[in-house]
Structure 1
Amino acid sequence: MPEESIENINFDVLNKRAISQPLVSHIYTADPSAHVFNGKIYIYPSHDVDAGEAFDDLGSHFAMEDYHVISMDSIDSEAVDNGVALHVDDVPWAKEQMWAPDAHEKDGKYYLFFPAKAHDGIFRIGVAISNSPVGPFKAQPEAIKGSFSIDPAVFKDDDGSYYMYFGGLWGGQLQRWRTGEFKAEQPDSPTAFLPKDNEPALLPFVTKMTDDLFEFAEKPRTIEILDEKGNLLLAGDNERRFFEAAWLHKYNGKYYFSYSTGDTHFICYAIGDNPYGPFTYGGRILNPVVGWTSHHSICEVDRKWYLFYHDSSLSKGVTHLRSVKVAEITYREDGSIETLNPYIEK
């Protein structure tokens, strides 16, 4: 839901129309990555705080500095905040902006994957490890070699391979890596180096992880997102093209790559036969929420599928103070996903 319409919203009415309520309300949480470990739900969100930064399209007002892990015994149970799992002060290479994380498990260890701006102002991706899914996590002393941009999401395939998906436009800096090296010119412009509307849209990246999950096992490669004719989506197709918030899940043998369209506020998905893609655009999962951003994860819980997402209804539309929510999603017989409206129509 575009920011300019916020002032016209009656939030008491809107919250009654919402299809779900915030899982926690004592802190602001966003960008939820949800997993089931040992029969319990764990959600790895970013932790929104009001740092006093002015709103801009570089995301400077998203000044998050730590992570909390939220746990639930079941999809209907109370959500529990397990406290600080990792703080930026405990990450040697990171300076600020602990944005959307993800986590995974391997051999009884738990790994937190997170982006942050390094001391040179460039977003990198780091890894931290713990014996517990709720932390505390201990960060590796350096960021992942060859990492860049934001929004890491790690998928474990049926053969035991782990893949990381990542990337984000504008403040996420993906457009600054078009040549393979970071372009530092025009640092205050979120749209410098973007392709023209009639050119193929910028693409997210995927890479297989090493066995210890600390590094990339290969050079990251782009993920092709195609239209119904097999052509790459164009940069001007901003209701379908990738912007940020990569996520991968598997359903009935197919790989579903889902993502946010950013400035048009949709959560969309594309379907493929391989974790590397290509993926063919399939439709929308979630229509716009209150607040500028849209970021999600999809997780199977007790043979049902759920979308974890956020909106800014609790903060009455403050863009950078968001709250994590969850709603069930439905697959049609052909494998397509029914679009959710986050608020019931009047």
Structure 2
Amino acid sequence: MWSEAPPVAVHAPGNPILADGRSYSTDPAPVVVGDTLWILAGRDEAAPDIDDFVMNEWQALSTKDPASGDWTHYPSIARPEAVFAWAEPGRAYAGQIVMGRDGRFYLYAPVLQKADQSKDRFAIGVAVADAPTGPWIDAHPAGPIISQTAPEPNTIQNIDPTVLIDDDGRVYIYWGTFGRLRGMELAADMVTPKGSEQTITGLDGFFEAPWLMKRKGVYYLLYAGNTVGPDCTPTLYHACIAYGAATSPLGPWTYRGVILGPVSSTTSHPGAVAFKGRWWLAYHTADAVGGGHFRRSVAIDRMAFDDRVSPPAILPVKPTRRPTPPPAPSRNIAGRATATASNVPIPVRYWIKALNDGIVRPAPLPPDMWAAEPGSASPWLEYRFDTPVTLDGARIRFWADQPAGATAGVAPPRAWRMEYWSGGWRRVRDPEGFGTGLDAFQSASFAPVTTRCVRVVLETAGAGVAVQEWEVLAPTAQPFRAAGPAAPPCDAKP
């Protein structure tokens, strides 16, 4: 039977707060209680090779000073089935704790209803407790306060609740995902709908994860956006944190911009709060040891406003990381290069920068790779360096959902080769290796070449082809050097 786990002291000299891979945390929802900042978080428990949200419970973090790095971790404070008799175990998605006017704490939690016939069984329940860590009891035992049938029919997925108690004591809740956002007023009891659900518009690129807050008479709604383009995300699967502003709690909303670019996890989830005279933005990343898109970890950074404009603008937040030692010297120097490909512009599901980011995931999502669509004739990838380099090998990691020889879907290539630029593209000499297997790097070696540009040409049977990582190897280990400005084309004059 589930029971609360004892708290653990944690020192975090930077982000993420929980970084050693023993516990993953996600979907942060900060709340201030006296002199303490609390963060409600979900727990990611997916195995490294699982592409799904395995989330069985909520946990919490607390600190007297976020800048100190000193936190207390409460590993388990609630489970859906232990709080709501009408809920199934698991799917403990993004919730929020707020302190009511009665001094008690209210947990707004998206959970799955059991024995429900709705097309989508996600619903939002409310639990109440005398402390942020519980114990929690259902504040509305009759069932969820929001679902596809309550308080009125809807067809959206009812998750990601965010709640604001306004200065006049009125209570407002927003929720939604997949580009569909709803808002509503609640009665003073914190659970009873007051008025009808409202469809919320005006927030460009809204995808999910709304966060409602107020500062100096202005209402702000932060959210995860996924509009592909330079202002938000490089690929369809990534998310940025954008926001809108309004002069009333239910809008109308006006889009105001992006405050946090894409992080290392494809999802992003904001939670912002004023604490001891400063504003803080909590979010999650995949930066912990063993982290991934389904193994995320909470981070927190300062957030500031520009009060010279009206309404005051939220300034871009600069994400920070824990100090780490410099990378060790390596034969792989792909990280110095500018990558390009035969199919630029790349389909928006994929990401050219994944080729040389040094990350290979057991179960990658589309942004973790580059890909060419089926029917591409001998697609190629190219690295451009700002100065000539000497290479004598390469390693490549393919991804596929179809077997070799397939003419549809994504399959490993029939063959691949390396070429270098020397007044034109020339094949490397004395090639060895160049395998086409999956689930491991395929190694290649060749006679040394000195060049500023190198490319790999992929021969397909008609299916698409995908590459997670492409390493190019110098004859000896080289000190780490980050990529500089975009390198010029291969045929550019010196």
The TM-score by the shorter chain falls in which range? 0.7 to 0.9
Q: Distance in 2 between matches of 1:256 and 1:130?
A: 27
Q: Distance in 2 between matches of 1:124 and 1:52?
A: 28
The one-character-per-residue Cα deviations of 1:316-344 (angstroms, maximum 9, x if unpaired) are 44111111111001212211122224368
The one-character-per-residue Cα deviations of 1:215-248 (angstroms, maximum 9, x if unpaired) are 322221112216xxxxxxxxxxxxx411001011
Partner of 2:81, secondary structure, is helix
Which of 162, 174, 190 is the equivalent residue of 1:213?
A: 190
CA deviation after TM superposition for structure 1 residue 52, in Å: 7.8
User: In the alignment, is the contact (CA less than 8 A) between 1:69 and 1:85 conserved in 2?
Assistant: yes
1:255 is the counterpart of 2:251: no
For structure 2, the residue ranges without an aligned partner over 5 or more in a row are 1-12, 152-156, 227-236, 322-481, 484-494
* CA-atom RMSD in angstroms: 2.2
Over 3 Å counting, the alpha-carbon distance change for 1:51 and 1:87 in structure 2 is farther
CA deviation after TM superposition for structure 1 residue 51, in Å: 5.8
CA deviation after TM superposition for structure 1 residue 156, in Å: 1.2
What amino acid is the match of 1:166? W
Q: What residue is the counterpart of 1:92 in the other structure?
A: 85
Over 3 Å counting, the alpha-carbon distance change for 1:274 and 1:124 in structure 2 is same
Within 5 A, what are the aligned runs for 1:136-215? Answer: 136-139=135-138, 140-141=140-141, 142-145=143-146, 146=150, 149-169=158-178, 202-215=179-192
CA deviation after TM superposition for structure 1 residue 46, in Å: 1.0
Q: Distance in 1 between matches of 2:275 and 2:209?
A: 21
Q: Between Structure 1 and Structure 2, how many residues are aligned?
A: 278
Over 3 Å counting, the alpha-carbon distance change for 1:117 and 1:287 in structure 2 is same
Over 3 Å counting, the alpha-carbon distance change for 1:206 and 1:224 in structure 2 is same
1:122 is the counterpart of 2:131: no
Q: Distance in 1 between matches of 2:48 and 2:262?
A: 26
Partner of 2:196, secondary structure, is coil
User: In the alignment, is the contact (CA less than 8 A) between 1:65 and 1:98 conserved in 2?
Assistant: yes
Q: Distance in 2 between matches of 1:41 and 1:343?
A: 19
1:135 is the counterpart of 2:134: yes
CA deviation after TM superposition for structure 1 residue 143, in Å: 1.2
CA deviation after TM superposition for structure 1 residue 296, in Å: 1.1
Partner of 1:225, secondary structure, is coil
User: In the alignment, is the contact (CA less than 8 A) between 1:315 and 1:321 conserved in 2?
Assistant: no
What amino acid is the match of 1:85? I
Q: Distance in 2 between matches of 1:92 and 1:52?
A: 31
Over 3 Å counting, the alpha-carbon distance change for 1:51 and 1:93 in structure 2 is farther
Which of 317, 320, 325 is the equivalent residue of 2:299?
A: 325
Over 3 Å counting, the alpha-carbon distance change for 1:316 and 1:137 in structure 2 is same
Q: Provide runs of 4+ in structure 1 moved above 3 Å.
A: 51-54, 343-346
Q: Which moved more, 1:202-211 or 1:152-161?
A: 202-211
Q: Distance in 1 between matches of 2:72 and 2:28?
A: 14
What amino acid is the match of 2:56? E
For structure 1, the residue ranges without an aligned partner over 5 or more in a row are 1-18, 56-60, 170-201, 227-239
Q: What residue is the counterpart of 2:478 in the other structure?
A: none
Which of 107, 120, 129 is the equivalent residue of 1:112?
A: 107
Q: What is the identity percentage for the equivalent residue pairs of Structure 1 and Structure 2?
A: 29
Over 3 Å counting, the alpha-carbon distance change for 1:65 and 1:53 in structure 2 is farther
CA deviation after TM superposition for structure 1 residue 289, in Å: 0.4
Q: What residue is the counterpart of 2:317 in the other structure?
A: 340
Q: Distance in 2 between matches of 1:256 and 1:222?
A: 17
Q: Which moved more, 1:73-82 or 1:156-165?
A: 73-82
Which of 5, 21, 31 is the equivalent residue of 2:15?
A: 21
Over 3 Å counting, the alpha-carbon distance change for 1:53 and 1:92 in structure 2 is farther
1:312 is the counterpart of 2:312: no
User: In the alignment, is the contact (CA less than 8 A) between 2:260 and 2:318 conserved in 1?
Assistant: yes
Over 3 Å counting, the alpha-carbon distance change for 1:53 and 1:100 in structure 2 is farther
What amino acid is the match of 1:127? V
Partner of 1:288, secondary structure, is coil
Over 3 Å counting, the alpha-carbon distance change for 1:315 and 1:211 in structure 2 is same
Q: What residue is the counterpart of 2:64 in the other structure?
A: 73
CA deviation after TM superposition for structure 1 residue 28, in Å: 0.7
1:275 is the counterpart of 2:270: no
Partner of 2:189, secondary structure, is coil
Over 3 Å counting, the alpha-carbon distance change for 1:83 and 1:205 in structure 2 is same
User: In the alignment, is the contact (CA less than 8 A) between 1:86 and 1:138 conserved in 2?
Assistant: no
CA deviation after TM superposition for structure 1 residue 208, in Å: 1.1
Q: Distance in 2 between matches of 1:315 and 1:245?
A: 25
1:243 is the counterpart of 2:207: yes
Q: What is the TM-score with the length of structure 1 in the denominator?
A: 0.75
Q: Distance in 1 between matches of 2:221 and 2:263?
A: 20
